[in-house]
Amino acid sequence: MRHAVRHSWICAAWVLIGLAGAPVAAVAQDVPSPADALKAATAQIQHGQVAAGLDIIRQLALDGYAPAQNALGMALQTGDGVPQDRAAALDWFRRAAAQGSPDAAFNLGTLLEAGEVVRQDLPGAAQLYRRAAEQGVAVAQHALGMLYATGRGMPRDDGQAALWFGRAAEQGFALAQASLASMIEQGRGVRRDDKLAYQWYRAAAEQNSVPAMNALGVYLLNGRGTKVNQTEALGWIRRAAEAGLPEAQRRLGQMMEAGIGTPSDDLSGRMWYRRAAESGDTEAQIRLGVLLESGWHGADKDLAQAAQWYLRAAGRGVGMAQYRLALLYLRGAGVPVDDDAAAALLMRAAEQRVVGAAWQLGAMASEGRGGLADNEAALHWYQLAAQHDGNAALEHLLAWYDVFKAARLKPGRNQPITDVQAVRHLRLAAEHGLPNAQNNLAVMLYNGWGVKQDIAGAKRLFSQAATAGNRTAKAWLDWLAQE
């Protein structure tokens, strides 16, 4: 083709010097239009004649043909057949866009949005996307919809986002079909409609949209917008998992483990959990950690590995991972005992209202662990636990109120009335199994403060408190053993 074009230029030169008797119009018919030349050059590239095809495209671009300028910019941007040069690509996109090329306007918009070879300009990118979108470029319609949906470069507008996703979806653009389905699923900018969302997810999945495959599988699994079909759900989720989507890999692991749509297969389940976890899926990291910590579902128990998976998820701010890792630090399971690290992790988990985190902090404060040796601190954390964890924590909190009230009475100072009141509060708290209350009540019994002296009863309470981890009670028992 390269030679054919050159030959056409030679023919034109002959006309200029007066080729004998040849009509100009007849020779001009041998010259291909720029559109035909670009089409032929593209075909050459597709057939492996990359250099020859790019030579033609470059000449067409230099001649000012906008589609060729855009094509050359794309080659320079990707390094396809030429050394990658994004700055040069930017220049060619600008030239083509200035001539009204919608494709070049979109490509220029992507560079302005990314801000990699030029200062980021989201409003400018939005304007370029709109120019291309209004001329029917589906990928630009989707890009404009994404800016509206996220509020980048313009005020967020779910209605406009759904509108532009819809226009691109109707052209068969898979990404837009999946995005529109998501908007319909959430009721963002449009009326929520599970059946319609299902239809768009299926349309996108059938065009190999990986996120849509996963979403379609979930719809089939739960019977949203369609009948439940676990076998088909498994097939779509497996396809998304094999394509590398971490969320689908984790979900496939769950289905394998539970035997949903397939016979139960714990080994395969763990394999998919691991693939998802290695790709950064925090839910898979936690699940893998739980299996390794507990040895459930045939997993080889490995506390050190469990701690590592919890650590990866905890490092990304996941409260449940922070909580479970803290428990390992408290027990010294798979990691050295570290009360300070446990307290820090529990505080972060408690901020996220993870059930059990505030309770553990209260227990640490009551036992004087992790720098939390303070009855008032214990009371504070138990108050939070009551808010986060429900009735059991509320009962524990009420018991701690009795410990706190007894401490405020300052027993053992030859004030019989207040000593009796303190004993009453401590008995209530001790009945709830609070080690601090058991220890303090034992001291009252041993000394006969506010109650008849009962050394045997004191020893029983000291023993209960020490068994529960109260260090002061353990010290009392050691001292009594020496008497």
Closest C-alpha to 147, from 168, 169, 130, 166:
130
In the 8-state DSSP scheme, what is residue 299? P
Structure tokens at 385: 């636990």
Model confidence at 124: pLDDT above 50: yes
| Half-sphere exposure at residue 182, Cβ-oriented, CA atoms within 13 angstroms | 20
- Give me the pLDDT at residue 105, please: 98
Q: Which of the four pLDDT bands, split at 50, 70 and 90, describes residue 375?
A: low
Instruction: Please state, in angstroms and rounded to a whole number, the distance separating the CA atoms of residues 480 and 471.
Output: 14
Q: Which of the four pLDDT bands, split at 50, 70 and 90, describes residue 182?
A: very high
- The 10s digit of each residue's pLDDT in 29-44 is 567 899 999 999 999 9
Structure tokens at 373: 């040796």
Q: Which of the four pLDDT bands, split at 50, 70 and 90, describes residue 129?
A: very high
Q: Which of the four pLDDT bands, split at 50, 70 and 90, describes residue 395?
A: low
- Give me the pLDDT at residue 8, please: 31
Model confidence at 24: pLDDT above 50: no
Q: What is the DSSP string of 193-217?
A: -HHHHHHHHHHHHTTT-HHHHHHHH
Closest C-alpha to 124, from 146, 100, 106, 141:
106
Model confidence at 470: pLDDT above 90: no
Structure tokens at 332: 């010294």
Quote the pTM value: 0.74
